[in-house]
Structure 1
Amino acid sequence: MSRYIALRLLQAIGVLWAAYTVSFLVLYALPGDPARLLAGPDATDVTAAQLDTLRAQFGLDKPLVVQYVEHLGALLRGDLGTSLPTGRPVAELIGEAIPSTLQIAALGLLLAVIVGGGLALAATFTRHRGLGQLLLALPPIGVAVPGFWFALLLIQWFSFGIPLFPAVGNQSFASVVLPAITLALPTGATIAQLLSKSLVTTLREPYIDTAWAKGAGPGRVHLRHALRNAALPALTVTGLIVGQLLSGTVVTETVFSRPGLGRVTATAVAQQDIPVVQGIVLFAAAVFVVTNLLVDLVYPLLDPRIVIRKRRLPRVRVAATAGASR
């Protein structure tokens, strides 16, 4: 187990380094001059000497390799850098934005798991063929619906039509509901689509027929026997979806005019604020890595055979090698 955790940590470091490097190169490849953006909207009146001074002040005049090494060294010391337009520490900006984003992301993930899992169970549990086919057709529609269009529909229905929830802002829990539902739609549809297909396949396995032959009821067969094994692929996708939720907040927070990581990211990209964008990319990569590590640790709880296979695999190889040599 210690070797497994060590390998996962090395992979995590590699993912973080790759995310940092790719974001650094992509941001510097964007058209535009960061010095002119720093000069403000009246950059047309700024002289070339003033622009050179700004570049020297923020280290933008140095070669790309030198800037990369300096930023990477600062990152290893725990310094995410300073925002170019505002002069505030990047860690402070991200820390202020996390609570608002975490609210809608956590509630959206909870709704997605409940609705997506419930829809998959209902579609495979019902004995009415037509109803089952209808329920199975809903997840692809949910995946195909654009998030911003669905958000505008929710605002039209539940903010203007029936004034139940505020359309913009972050004043109370009510303002979290519509953004969370917007994030939950594609996420829940993905979970429902994958879990339903996995359940359909699992319910055809021989051990399910054995459970029926022993007198197990439909609820016991679905929840105790089929769901436990069918949940593994959905669990894997749920770990990947966490990163999707963070990226989805860019559109969602913009539509609902909410503060958060999404708004900070959109502003930083527009201003070519390289330290802020890199800090957010590293944070998202860290969340992704930690989530997938937790998912890997949950696997043996659902299926102990995973650990058994990993332990027996070297012995099987040794035995096969010995047999071949004889």
Structure 2
Amino acid sequence: MLRYVGQRLLQGAFVLWAAYTVSFFILYLLPGDAVSIMASGDEQNAVDPALVAKLRSEYGLDRPLYEQYFIALGRALQLDFGISIKNGVAATRSVAEVLPETIKLAAAGFALAVLLGSALATAATFSRNPWVRQALGSLPPLGIAVPTFWIGLLLLQLFSFRLRLFPAIGNDGAASIVLPALTLAIPTAAVIAQLLSRSLRQTLGEPYIEQVRAKGASEALINFGHALRNAAIPTLTMLGILVGNLLAGAVVSETVFSRAGIGRLTVTAVNSRDIPVVQTLVVLAAVIFVVTSLVVDLIYPLVDPRINIGKTAKA
């Protein structure tokens, strides 16, 4: 068990290093320059070469690229990602100030996604009406195909502008999180429903289900006590990717609904080429992915006792 966890931690460390390194060089390959953008102020002002040279020296951007990388990597290992080029404060502080709002949004979105996706999958699988099964089964592909921003705009138009049930923008109170969370939840719920319904159909065709039925178990016990529990395992394996989808969706959702959070900070940082902030966000996303994957692996034996992490690690 300890050996397995150690191996996963080493893999996680490699993922973090790779994410940091790839993002570092990609950001330098993008057109535009953070210092030039900051020096110009806006598109109508000419860039002062003397000011640009001074700013480059202050931020260490006049050094060779490989030297900048190793200096930045050394600081990152100490959880120092540098100073934001846009606002002059620590990049970690810029992220920490908006992180709680995104956590609330992501948690609400994830809870809704699990609830909606599970309900849709079970209804589509266990319904005895073939027309209902077919209609419900067609919803997950539709939810996956529809762009997140379009879902947000549709909800905004219907529930904010027409029905006036929820506020259109901002972070003011619990009501303001409903539409952004629903926008975030629908695509993720569609993925959960598609995976879970397919797994449920496969599980219901397994021989042990017929054995349980032959012993006189009720359909409710078969469906929810045996089939659903085992069918949830493939969905759990996708949990890390689903969390990544939530983070990506947060960028769109917070932009559509003008919410202060990681999403809007990401858009601003990328547009202004604020490399320290962008890299802090990339590493944060990688940490969440690594931790989620490890937690899912440790949860497996609780869901299915047949899975033994110790034997898997030795194998």
Letter in 1 for 2:204: L
Counterpart mapping for 1:94-133 below 5 A: 94-133=95-134
Counterpart mapping for 1:1-326 below 5 A: 1-39=1-39, 40-41=41-42, 44-307=45-308, 310=311
Letter in 1 for 2:51: Q
1:81 is displaced (CA, Å) by 1.1
Provide the C-alpha distance between the structure 1 equivalents of 2:4 and 2:92, rounded to a whole number of angstroms.
31
Provide the C-alpha distance between the structure 2 equivalents of 1:206 and 1:218, rounded to a whole number of angstroms.
15
Provide the C-alpha distance between the structure 1 equivalents of 2:313 and 2:93, rounded to a whole number of angstroms.
48
Question: Which secondary structure state, in structure 2, belongs to the residue aligned with residue 45 of structure 1?
Answer: coil
Provide the C-alpha distance between the structure 1 equivalents of 2:313 and 2:50, rounded to a whole number of angstroms.
69
Letter in 2 for 1:22: V
Provide the C-alpha distance between the structure 1 equivalents of 2:313 and 2:69, rounded to a whole number of angstroms.
45
Provide the C-alpha distance between the structure 2 equivalents of 1:190 and 1:262, rounded to a whole number of angstroms.
21
Provide the C-alpha distance between the structure 1 equivalents of 2:210 and 2:157, rounded to a whole number of angstroms.
49
Letter in 1 for 2:64: P
CA 1:311/1:11 → structure 2, altered by over 3 Å: closer, same or farther? Answer: closer
Provide the C-alpha distance between the structure 1 equivalents of 2:60 and 2:71, rounded to a whole number of angstroms.
10
CA 1:312/1:46 → structure 2, altered by over 3 Å: closer, same or farther? Answer: closer
Provide the C-alpha distance between the structure 2 equivalents of 1:180 and 1:35, rounded to a whole number of angstroms.
36
1:45 is displaced (CA, Å) by 3.4
Letter in 2 for 1:81: G
Could you give the per-residue CA deviations for residues 237-257 of structure 1, whole angstroms, max 9, x where no partner exists? 123211111111111111100
Letter in 2 for 1:27: L
Letter in 2 for 1:26: I
1:312 is displaced (CA, Å) by 10
Provide the C-alpha distance between the structure 1 equivalents of 2:71 and 2:81, rounded to a whole number of angstroms.
11
Provide the C-alpha distance between the structure 1 equivalents of 2:101 and 2:56, rounded to a whole number of angstroms.
34
Question: Which secondary structure state, in structure 2, belongs to the residue aligned with residue 272 of structure 1?
Answer: coil
Letter in 2 for 1:88: V
Provide the C-alpha distance between the structure 2 equivalents of 1:34 and 1:92, rounded to a whole number of angstroms.
19
Provide the C-alpha distance between the structure 2 equivalents of 1:69 and 1:313, rounded to a whole number of angstroms.
36
Question: Which secondary structure state, in structure 1, belongs to the residue aligned with residue 89 of structure 2?
Answer: coil
Structure 2: state its 5+ residue gaps.
none
Structure 1 length-normalised TM: 0.93
CA 1:312/1:211 → structure 2, altered by over 3 Å: closer, same or farther? Answer: farther
CA 1:12/1:313 → structure 2, altered by over 3 Å: closer, same or farther? Answer: closer
Structure 2 length-normalised TM: 0.96
Provide the C-alpha distance between the structure 2 equivalents of 1:172 and 1:304, rounded to a whole number of angstroms.
43
Provide the C-alpha distance between the structure 2 equivalents of 1:257 and 1:124, rounded to a whole number of angstroms.
38
Provide the C-alpha distance between the structure 2 equivalents of 1:248 and 1:68, rounded to a whole number of angstroms.
30
Letter in 2 for 1:53: K
Structure 1: state its 5+ residue gaps.
315-326
Provide the C-alpha distance between the structure 1 equivalents of 2:167 and 2:48, rounded to a whole number of angstroms.
46
Calculate the aligned-residue CA RMSD, in Å: 1.5
Greater displacement, 222-231 / 235-244:
235-244
1:4 is displaced (CA, Å) by 0.6
Question: Which secondary structure state, in structure 1, belongs to the residue aligned with residue 139 of structure 2?
Answer: helix
Could you give the per-residue CA deviations for residues 147-191 of structure 1, whole angstroms, max 9, x where no partner exists? 111111111111111111000001100000000000000000000
Could you give the per-residue CA deviations for residues 259-292 of structure 1, whole angstroms, max 9, x where no partner exists? 0000000000000000000000000110111111
Could you give the per-residue CA deviations for residues 18-77 of structure 1, whole angstroms, max 9, x where no partner exists? 000011011000011222112122784343222211111111111110000000011112
CA 1:96/1:192 → structure 2, altered by over 3 Å: closer, same or farther? Answer: same
Provide the C-alpha distance between the structure 2 equivalents of 1:45 and 1:152, rounded to a whole number of angstroms.
37
Conservation of the 8 A alpha-carbon contact between 1:139 and 1:189? yes
CA 1:43/1:75 → structure 2, altered by over 3 Å: closer, same or farther? Answer: farther
Could you give the per-residue CA deviations for residues 104-148 of structure 1, whole angstroms, max 9, x where no partner exists? 110110010011011111111111122111111111011111111
Question: Which secondary structure state, in structure 2, belongs to the residue aligned with residue 293 of structure 1?
Answer: helix
Q: How many residues align?
A: 314
